[in-house]
Structure 1
Amino acid sequence: MVAFPLPDNAVEAGYRVIGFDSVGSTNIEAMKAAMAGNAGKIWYAALQQTEGRGRRGRAWESPYGNLAASLMIVPDAPSNSLAGLGFVAGVALNTALTRLMPAAAIRSGLDGADGVSDGGRARIALKWPNDVLADGAKLAGILLEAQKRPDGRTAIVIGIGVNVVAAPQGLPYPATSLADLGAPLDAPSVFEALAESWVECYQMWNNGSGTNRIIHRWRDNAAGIGAEVAVQRGDGVLRGIFETIDDAGHLIVRDDEGHRIAITAGDVHFGTTATLR
């Protein structure tokens, strides 16, 4: 077992953590806890996971020393508000990185290449729906999964992977790490900052009643509004202009004919990739 420290506000709020040196998947461990009737508010964190998964079942590689963390909670919230937890996790992770690297130009947005902070380009940005980019390369990912418990309640598992010491190699997209950015951090310290900011953001979400506040915070700092975007969906590629994130967390795209289309899921590309036809 590895010690992953919990901040005071997390301890006071009743959170717990189980740490691993290496594990198959922190999400699987959290799912097992949900099925066993665990009360929730429990983190599973590891320096390495060997069977990690990203969105749409894709493999999420995790070189040793990076952070793999999954939180299992059982919210007392309407089912239609649970998807907002992805934005809670994104804002919490952005907040944690801001505190860990205050000298970096950090701004929540859709594309690090488009973000502007203090007159210069933002280095770190939130990319809809669940990725974190740094200088346009993937730094972290977030995955939400729901699990029906034996008592009929719905548990939510929020998996977060952060490239702390190294980025995976051989990926079809650029990736980076905190070490590449010149941040001499380790996984336990990143986890502690994340666990602290999670408590604050989850309280703001307030079982769904604060969803608008969370999305407003995300959107107010978003970069890329007005830029071209391409969204790969099951029925093809939608191209247009990114207009906003609506109050439900949908990506709003205005197509070439002027129609405003709400996107609930898809692979999003900005910049040069979005303009290729």
Structure 2
Amino acid sequence: MAFTLAPTAVTDGYRLAEHDTIGSTNAEALDLARAGDAGRLWVVSKNQQGGRGRRGRAWQSPPGNLAATLLVVADYELKLASTLGFVAGLALADALDAVVPNGNIAVGIDAGRGVGNNSRNRFELKWPNDVLASGAKMAGILLESTMLGEGRFAVAVGIGVNVIAHPQDLPYPATSLRALGAACDAETLFLALSDAWADNARLWSEGRGLAAIRNRWLERAAGIGSEVAVRIDNRVVRGIFETIDEDCRFVIRDHDGGVVKVAAGDVHFGAVASASAV
């Protein structure tokens, strides 16, 4: 089965570049941007051999998992581009809801709970860039950018999903669609993802709809009201995860009652957050 775009994505002007094998979908997308591609291009493969996660970490992706990158070329305020990760998380969660049959996929204790301890979401979003199922990481999102000149820039919105397999040697739990009993393949998931992205991108509307995206994200957020530890460079901030603010920063109420707003950092919930070191 070949990768295909949803009709909604085609109508909105998105294109597709499919690869049997690729080093990195993000790297390919940014190379295409530097060569003059206008964006709205999905670069996809189910055999990515050189993927990477945040902070230069390797992203393990055995054949059969989904590696997809959307190339965005724009000239709006660059800081708005960082919120595309929240659009991507919502799109992927919506896509997973669409392709995975109803079942008992719950959020585990170490992932915390959604708003008001609402556990109706089978797939939840962990700030800033993970999608969880059963408290375990199923997918990661990585945004990378490059300046193109004349006020324009390119953003590669990379989405890696554990479809048929997940890493076993991580310091946190991970899972895959197959491990959860879902028979969905990478092509079917991507079809749903391209449709869900089109919907959420229209809502985001180049940042004009960020408040609506934030509200939707909070409805799926893992860990609100839970004990949390965030590693920021060489220090760890501990407290209760309260919300994300209007700029999508992570908001913690620390143990002294103060408010800490985090723009970037590694987040740990539950038992890991309560440990003496992260």
- Corresponding position of 1:237: 236
2:37 aligned with 1:38, yes or no?
yes
Describe the SS at the equivalent of 1:17: strand
- Corresponding position of 1:204: 203
- Corresponding position of 2:124: 125
Distance 2:229 2:223 in 1: 12
* Partners of 1:114 and 1:122 within 8 A in 2: no
Distance 1:22 1:68 in 2: 10
Distance 1:256 1:76 in 2: 41
| Paired residues for 1:51-90 under 5 Å | 51-90=50-89
* Partners of 1:107 and 1:125 within 8 A in 2: no
Describe the SS at the equivalent of 2:39: coil
* TM-score, reference length from structure 2: 0.92
Superposed CA offset, 1:195-243 (max 9, x none):
0000010011111111111011111332422211000111311111111
Distance 1:168 1:260 in 2: 35
2:170 aligned with 1:176, yes or no?
no
Letter in 2 for 1:154: F
Which shows bigger deviation, 57-66 or 173-182?
Answer: 173-182
User: What runs of 5+ residues in structure 1 fail to find an aligned partner?
Assistant: none
Describe the SS at the equivalent of 2:74: coil
- Corresponding position of 1:167: 166
| Paired residues for 1:1-277 under 5 Å | 3-104=2-103, 112-115=111-114, 123-277=122-276
Superposed CA offset, 1:93-146 (max 9, x none):
111111112514679999645348997675421111001111121100000011
Label 1:203 to 1:218 Cα distance change in 2 as closer, same or farther (>3 A). Answer: same
Label 1:174 to 1:198 Cα distance change in 2 as closer, same or farther (>3 A). Answer: same
Distance 1:135 1:273 in 2: 16
User: What runs of 5+ residues in structure 2 fail to find an aligned partner?
Assistant: none
Letter in 1 for 2:76: A
Distance 2:203 2:273 in 1: 34
How far apart are residue 76 of structure 1 and its match?
Answer: 4.4
Distance 1:155 1:109 in 2: 36
Label 1:184 to 1:59 Cα distance change in 2 as closer, same or farther (>3 A). Answer: same
Distance 2:121 2:212 in 1: 23
Letter in 1 for 2:243: T
Letter in 2 for 1:71: L
Distance 1:106 1:116 in 2: 17
Describe the SS at the equivalent of 2:228: strand
* TM-score, reference length from structure 1: 0.93
How far apart are residue 77 of structure 1 and its match?
Answer: 2.5
Aligned-residue RMSD, C-alpha = 2.3
* Partners of 1:20 and 1:46 within 8 A in 2: yes
Label 1:178 to 1:83 Cα distance change in 2 as closer, same or farther (>3 A). Answer: same
* Partners of 2:239 and 2:255 within 8 A in 1: yes
Label 1:107 to 1:40 Cα distance change in 2 as closer, same or farther (>3 A). Answer: farther
Distance 1:169 1:29 in 2: 28
Describe the SS at the equivalent of 2:196: helix
Describe the SS at the equivalent of 2:83: helix
What percentage of residue pairs aligned between the two structures are identical?
51
Distance 1:77 1:87 in 2: 17
Label 1:222 to 1:171 Cα distance change in 2 as closer, same or farther (>3 A). Answer: closer
